[in-house]
Amino acid sequence: MFNNLIESRSHTGEFKRRGSFLLYTVAAYGLCFVVAGVASIYAYDAHLDEQDSEVVTMLSPVDLPAPPKAPDIHQPSPARQPNREQIADVRPVLIASINHPELTPPPISAKPNPILPVRDGAITTIGRDQSNGGPIGPEGPGTGGGGNIVAPTVVVDPGPAPPLAPTPAPVKIIHTTRVMNSEALSLPKPVYPALAKQARASGTVSVQILIDEKGKVISAHALGGHPLLSGEAVRAAYQARFSPTIVGDTPVKVSGLINYNFVLQ
């Protein structure tokens, strides 16, 4: 029944109508955009009447003359009247200068002496501070030579030098590797550490000791043994006491060994 369909009417007119509508619509929108652009140009106020041209000219720098400098006016200082405080030197201790090698100061040291020596030809007084008085010149008192006074040199005889302190003899230490357990006057037993018991650590710990002139242990360190036992062995070695060792008439220090046996029971 529907095998042969025949179009009853043509769509050409419909297409023409739609095409004309689209063309007119595009033309109307284009005209509106043109009118809006022209109107915005006329509506914009660029304020051209307020603008002014400015010309900038670059000039080379010119050095300006420096202002005249006022001459320095130095007021003459008033002449100082010579007196005893200005002329005499002050020293806390009178020490001869190096021009007198025959005078040796009593204290001899490698450190520099902060006290100034006595100047030859200057009057020197003893005071708390140290300062130099007026200059020393060839003119004597009363000659009108600007207040320079030549005075006899003050030299202090330090007296005989004190005897040098005797140099102490070096401390002798007798080194030995023998075990000194039987020589001890007091030999406390070390405490068996609980941690060492739990680890079932046992054996002998050798402690190197140094005994002073009075028989006291002043140094101790473990040479061998289990690490869990060496600490208590060293602590016990410091508590040991020995009789002093005397060589000739001089007590000496002695080094030796102490062995501690830790037996696990």
Same domain? For 134 and 107 the reply is yes
Same domain? For 180 and 158 the reply is no
Of the three residues 143, 162, 181, the one that is the final residue of a domain is 162
Q: What local confidence, expressed as pLDDT, does residue 97 receive?
A: 78
Report the 10 Å Cβ neighbour count for 6: 4
Same domain? For 155 and 196 the reply is no
**Structural domain total, the chain:** 2
Three-class secondary structure assignment of 182-193: CCEEECCCCCCC
**Which CATH number fits the domain that encloses residue 201?**
3.30.2420.10
The amino acid that residue 82 corresponds to is P
Same domain? For 156 and 229 the reply is no
Q: What local confidence, expressed as pLDDT, does residue 236 receive?
A: 93
Same domain? For 150 and 201 the reply is no
Same domain? For 230 and 258 the reply is yes
Query: For residue 217, is it within any domain?
Result: yes
Same domain? For 248 and 177 the reply is yes
Same domain? For 182 and 252 the reply is yes
Q: What local confidence, expressed as pLDDT, does residue 224 receive?
A: 84
Domain that holds residue 115: 82-162
Same domain? For 120 and 195 the reply is no
Query: For residue 37, is it within any domain?
Result: no
Residues of the chain with confidence (pLDDT) below 50? 1, 82-86, 138-156
Query: For residue 121, is it within any domain?
Result: yes
Of the three residues 111, 136, 162, the one that is the final residue of a domain is 162
Same domain? For 212 and 258 the reply is yes
Same domain? For 144 and 181 the reply is no
Q: Read off the pLDDT of residues 61-85 as tens digits, 9 standing for 90 and up.
A: 767 777 777 666 656 555 555 444 4
Q: What local confidence, expressed as pLDDT, does residue 192 receive?
A: 92
Q: What is the DSSP string of the chain?
A: --SS----S-SHHHHHHHHHHHHHHHHHHHHHHHHHHHHHHHH----TTT------------PPPPPPPPPP-PPPPPPPPP-HHHHSEEESS----TT-TT---S---SSPP-SPPPPTT--EEE-SS-B--SPP-S--TTS-STT----PPP-----SPPPPPPPPPPPPEEEEEEE-STTEEE-PPPP--HHHHHTT--EEEEEEEEE-TTSBEEEEEEEES-HHHHHHHHHHHHT-EEPPEEETTEEEEEEEEEEEEE---
